[in-house]
Amino acid sequence: MGIRRLRRLTPILSGICPLDSTYSVARPRWLDKRCWQIMPQPFRAVIFDLDGVLADSEPRWTEIDKKLLAEYGVSYHDEYHRNVLGVSYRLAVEFYKKTFGLSVPTEELMRRRGEIAAEFFASRIGLFPSTRAVIKELRQMNLHLAVATSSVSASARPFLDRHGLTTFFEVILTGEEIERGKPAPDIYLRTAEKLGVPTNECLVIEDALSGIAAGKDAGMRVAAIPDTRFVDAREYEKQADYLLRDLSEIPPLVRHVAAVN
């Protein structure tokens, strides 16, 4: 999964120092001593995207949208997924309407997409390995945890319940609760407000460029876990503050940032 499928770009933890544009294969850039002198505040909160971060759902979204569009006589191709990866339901269905010239009302498409997604999340989508262990470890580190997802409540909340994760999160914010979805920063700003944590003390975990943009525009630091089944991880190096292979690297990152402060 993730960067492990690529040529090894950096040692185990491959975070990007926000103010260091040079590249070193000898050690992670976020371990560069030049970064230590300017390292921001330690993290007090970790905010997770759901799809492609906690839930191994991205392969299923191609099936969800294929089923959705088939109901309106449209043939779906997997390459369309890159255009809707991580964005709000509204932006996704508006892309499909424009691409295929559909005259169906946006609200109808959003409703039907949510219904199909709820069916998939109920039985066909699982967690990434180490998800539960990482969440427990972060809670033991006294961090505030939240989920901020473009998915609707009808699919996201039952999924978290089914996997016994709901109680670990102080805030769960879903797509229909926000007027402007990702890549707008609204969902992350609202989540930080609900947590009562300043945005510069929040770490966002994302797998999509649209989500990274949302987190950065909210004034947060963002760790990206690109899923190389769908994206080129190198596209993320210029956008994210940290580039990780999987969830298991989050606790060491949090500890490192705290230690250098």
Same domain, yes or no: 150 and 205: yes
Q: How far apart are CA 142 and CA 159, in angstroms?
A: 24
Clarify whether 207 is annotated catalytic. Answer: no
Q: How far apart are CA 160 and CA 232, in angstroms?
A: 28
Same domain, yes or no: 244 and 164: yes
At which of 123, 141, 164 does a domain end?
A: 123
CATH number at residue 85: 1.10.150
Q: Among residues 20, 32, 49, 241, which one is catalytic?
A: 49
Residues found in the chain:
261
Same domain, yes or no: 244 and 167: yes
* Identity of the amino acid at 178: I
Predicted confidence at residue 231, as pLDDT, reads 76
At which of 123, 151, 177 does a domain end?
A: 123
Predicted confidence at residue 22, as pLDDT, reads 29
CB 209 within 8 A of CB 239: yes
- Stretch 137-148: mean pLDDT: 99
Same domain, yes or no: 202 and 221: yes
Q: How far apart are CA 5 and CA 169, in angstroms?
A: 31
- pLDDT, tens digit, 9 for 90 and up, residues 44-62: 999 999 999 999 988 888 8
Joined together, the tokens standing for residue 186 give 């609204």
Q: Among residues 20, 32, 51, 56, which one is catalytic?
A: 51
Angle, vertex CA 182, rays to CA 203 and CA 108, nearest 5: 145
Same domain, yes or no: 98 and 32: no
Same domain, yes or no: 114 and 20: no
Predicted confidence at residue 38, as pLDDT, reads 53
Share of residues in the chain with pLDDT > 90 (%) = 63
User: Which range (23-27, 51-55, 189-193) has the least confidence?
Assistant: 23-27
SS3 content of the chain, % helix, strand, coil (to 5): 50, 10, 40
Same domain, yes or no: 150 and 70: no
Same domain, yes or no: 87 and 27: no
At which of 123, 145, 179 does a domain end?
A: 123
Same domain, yes or no: 146 and 30: yes
Domain of 243?
Answer: 2-55+128-260
pLDDT score of 123 more than 70: yes
Predicted confidence at residue 26, as pLDDT, reads 30
pLDDT score of 138 more than 60: yes
Clarify whether 49 is annotated catalytic. Answer: yes
Say how many domains are in the chain. Answer: 2
Predicted confidence at residue 85, as pLDDT, reads 80
Grade residue 174 by pLDDT with cuts at 50, 70 and 90.
very high
pLDDT score of 80 more than 90: no
Same domain, yes or no: 64 and 167: no
Instruction: Report strand pairing: 14-15 vs 242-243.
Output: antiparallel
pLDDT score of 76 more than 70: yes
Same domain, yes or no: 200 and 247: yes
Same domain, yes or no: 138 and 244: yes
Predicted confidence at residue 14, as pLDDT, reads 42
Instruction: Identify the burial level of 3 via C-beta atoms within 10 angstroms of its C-beta, where 0-12 means exposed, 13-18 middle and 19 or more buried.
Output: buried
